[in-house]
Amino acid sequence: MTTIEFSKELKWGAATASYQIEGAANEDGRSPSIWDTFSHTPGNVKNGDTGDHACNSYHLYKEDVQHLKDLGIDIYRFSISWSRVMPEGTGSLNPAGVAYYRNLITELLKYDIEPMITLYHWDLPQVLQDKGGWENRATIDAFNEYAEAMFKEFGDQVKNWITINEPWCASFLSNFLGIHAPGKKDLQAAVDVSHHLLTAHGKAVQSFRELVPDGEIGYAPNLGWLEPFSPAAEDQDACRRGMLWQKEWFMDPVFKGSYPEELIQIFKEHDAVLHIEEGDLELISQPIDFYGINYYTGSLGRHNDEAGMFQVEEVPLDYRQTDIGWPIYADGFYKALKNLNETYGDVPIYITENGACYNHGVEDGKVNDQERIDYLKQHLTSLHRAIKAGVPIKGYLVWSLLDNFEWAEGYEKRFGIIHINFDTFERTRKESYYWYKNTVENKRFEIT
According to DSSP, the β-strands at 226-228 and 2-5 are unpaired
User: What's the gap between Cα 42 and its chain centre?
Assistant: 26
Cβ-proximal residues to 185 (8 Å cutoff; 6+ apart), any chain: 175, 176, 177, 178
CB atoms closer than 10 angstroms to residue 100: 25
Q: Count helices and strands (H / E) in the chain.
A: 17, 15
- For 70, other C-beta atoms within 10 Å of its C-beta total 13
What are the Cα distances from residue 26, in Å, to 31, 36, 42, 53, 83? 7, 10, 19, 9, 11
Residue environment code for 429-443, b if the CB has 16+ CB neighbours within 10 A, otherwise e: bbbbbebbbebbeee
User: Of the listed 135, 248, 314, 353, which one is catalytic?
Assistant: 353
Cβ pair 120, 82 in contact under 8 A = yes
Rounded distance between C-alpha atoms, residue 276 and residue 156, angstroms: 34
Composition of the chain by helix, strand, coil, percent to 5: 45, 15, 40
How many angstroms separate the first and last alpha carbons of the chain? 4
Q: Give the span between the Cα atoms of 49 and 38, in whole angstroms.
A: 10
Residue 29 CB: number of other CB atoms within 10 A?
14
Question: For residues 117 and 160, is the Cβ–Cβ distance under 8 A?
Answer: yes
Coil, strand or helix: which one is 51? coil
Q: Quick one: 214 exposed, middle or buried, by C-beta within 10 A (0-12, 13-18, 19+)?
A: exposed
22, 107, 135, 166: the catalytic one is 166
Cβ–Cβ < 8 Å for 123, 81: yes
Nearest to 3 by CA among 439, 373, 340, 366: 439
Is the preceding omega at residue 182 within 30 degrees of 0, hence cis? yes
- Residue partners of 159: CB distance under 8 A and separation at least 6: 114, 212, 214, 215, 216
CA dihedral 412, 21, 425, 328 (to 10 degrees): 40
Known catalytic membership, residue 277? no
**For this structure, is 5 an active site residue?**
no
The residues annotated with a catalytic role in the active site are 166, 353
